[in-house]
Structure 1
Amino acid sequence: MIIDSVDLDAVSAYKLLIGSIVPRAIAWVSTASGDGVANLAPISFFTAVGRKPPMVSLTLQPRSDGALKDTLINIRETGCFVTNIVTLPHADEMHRSAFEFDSGIDEFHAVGLEKEASEVVSAPRIKDAPISMECVVDRIIPVGEVLDHVVWGEVVRFHIRDDLYLDRGRIDTAALAAVGRLAAEYTLVENVFTTPLPDPLIDVRRGRRMSRLDGQPDGWSPIDTGAWSASGSTLATER
């Protein structure tokens, strides 16, 4: 299949991108409005973009109704955000924080999470997140024709759970139980390898499909339900 991107609308292109670029790390972004209302949003268009100073980037799509997300509005207003890393014990709260809540709702309270004060920025951290990064805005870049925005943030404080911080400044990634994003689903990072692997092992796994942890049938996807939207938000408010 060869697809000319000029023929794609934003939703169609988004489906191809999120199904091709996998797995994606999830930035569970906490912000606060100028009035102090806390917001949470999982952002999977997320990566590191610099080392000195350490820098991360977020790409935010608009809400399903075309308006800017509270996350972007808060970042513009306060000049800061916190990137919390998602692990398996928080997967459900992370997913529920993708609901399109009204702007006046404290989303920590809505999904049942406790806040922890940051040291430098006004945005709160997620109390039990194993890794959090306090970020100040470096730049905000409009992208394309549909109100997407890239945010670059300088990491000014790392908060790392003590048992994850190893000698020589290394993080024990095997103990993290990190959760990543596939297309519209999630994946648990639970195996690790270096190359080369033995050919028999590769042959055994060739063509093997992922195993599901949630009991859904093979091939099922939230993209085929009314809960999914190309904004990255979850539209259904009932589980």
Structure 2
Amino acid sequence: MQLDFTTLSPLEAYRWLAASVTPRPIAWVSTRSQTGIANLAPFSFFQVISDEPPTLMVNVGVRDDGSLKDTLRNVQDTGELVIQLVSAAQAEAMNASAALLAHGVSEFAHCGIASLPAERVQVPRVAGAPLAFECVVAEVQPYPRETPNCHLIFARVLLAHVDERVLDGNGRIDPQQLDLVGRLGGSNYCTTRDRFSMTRP
């Protein structure tokens, strides 16, 4: 079987890519609007792209009607965000925060998600998240540049909050205790509970 991506509709391309490039980590991104409204939304087109400087990348798509999502508006206006990783215990709350709400409605309040203040940025973070990265925006790139259907947010990490319960005896992250969820295709998710090790040659 071959797939000619030059002939696929955007929806078909998304379905094939999202179902095959898996599992994908989920960035649970909190931001704050210029008027002080806290926003929270999950994104599975997300990755580490640099360790010097430490930088994460989140892909935020444009809405079907061409408007910008609150997450993108907020980071463009304030230059700040917090990226949380999602544990299995918080999967339902993360999913609830993906609901399409009216502009100016806080997912924290609407979904009953507890928050804590950040230290380096003026953005709330999710209480109970196993890891939360306080970030400033390094740059935002529309893609494709000519007719963008998404924007790539390059977020430079300033400070990380690590729940000590996810650490092992050596002070390193224990994947079993971290217990993250990842995104598969469609409505499917997975956890990081099952794993194996290999020694690099």
Fold similarity call, TM over 0.5: yes
Matches within 5 A, 1:65-104: 65-104=65-104
Equivalents in 2 of 1:192, 1:140: separation in Å? 34
1:162 aligns with 2:154: no
Partner of 2:106: 106
When normalised by structure 2's length, the TM-score is 0.93
Moved more, 101-110 or 139-148: 139-148
Partner of 1:3: 3
Report deviation, 1:121: 0.8
Gaps of 5+ in 1: 197-239
Moved more, 168-177 or 35-44: 168-177
Whether the 8 Å contact between 2:167 and 2:177 is mirrored in structure 1 is: no
Partner of 1:192: 195
Provide, for residues 31-56 of structure 1, a one-character-per-residue CA deviation record: whole Å limited to 9, x for no partner: 11011111111110000011122110
1:30 aligns with 2:22: no
Report deviation, 1:146: 4.3
Equivalents in 2 of 1:139, 1:166: separation in Å? 35
Whether the 8 Å contact between 1:116 and 1:126 is mirrored in structure 2 is: yes
Equivalents in 1 of 2:52, 2:171: separation in Å? 16
Whether the 8 Å contact between 2:132 and 2:162 is mirrored in structure 1 is: yes
Whether the 8 Å contact between 2:24 and 2:184 is mirrored in structure 1 is: yes
When normalised by structure 1's length, the TM-score is 0.78
Partner of 1:50: 50
Identity %: 37
Helix, strand or coil: the match of 2:93? helix
Equivalents in 2 of 1:192, 1:105: separation in Å? 39
Report deviation, 1:169: 5.2
Provide, for residues 150-193 of structure 1, a one-character-per-residue CA deviation record: whole Å limited to 9, x for no partner: 11000000000112234665211111111100012211221111
Equivalents in 1 of 2:9, 2:113: separation in Å? 37
Gaps of 5+ in 2: none
Aligned match for 1:180, one of 167, 179, 182: 182
- Count the aligned residue pairs: 196
Report deviation, 1:4: 1.6
Helix, strand or coil: the match of 2:6? helix
Whether the 8 Å contact between 1:83 and 1:134 is mirrored in structure 2 is: yes
- 1:153 alignment partner AA: A
Partner of 1:224: none
Whether the 8 Å contact between 1:120 and 1:157 is mirrored in structure 2 is: yes
Helix, strand or coil: the match of 2:109? helix
- 2:155 alignment partner AA: G
- 2:175 alignment partner AA: T
Between Structure 1 and Structure 2, the one with more strand by share is 2
Whether the 8 Å contact between 1:23 and 1:181 is mirrored in structure 2 is: yes
Runs of 4+ in 1 over 3 A off after TM superposition: 165-169
Partner of 2:150: 148
Whether the 8 Å contact between 1:10 and 1:146 is mirrored in structure 2 is: no
Helix, strand or coil: the match of 1:31? strand
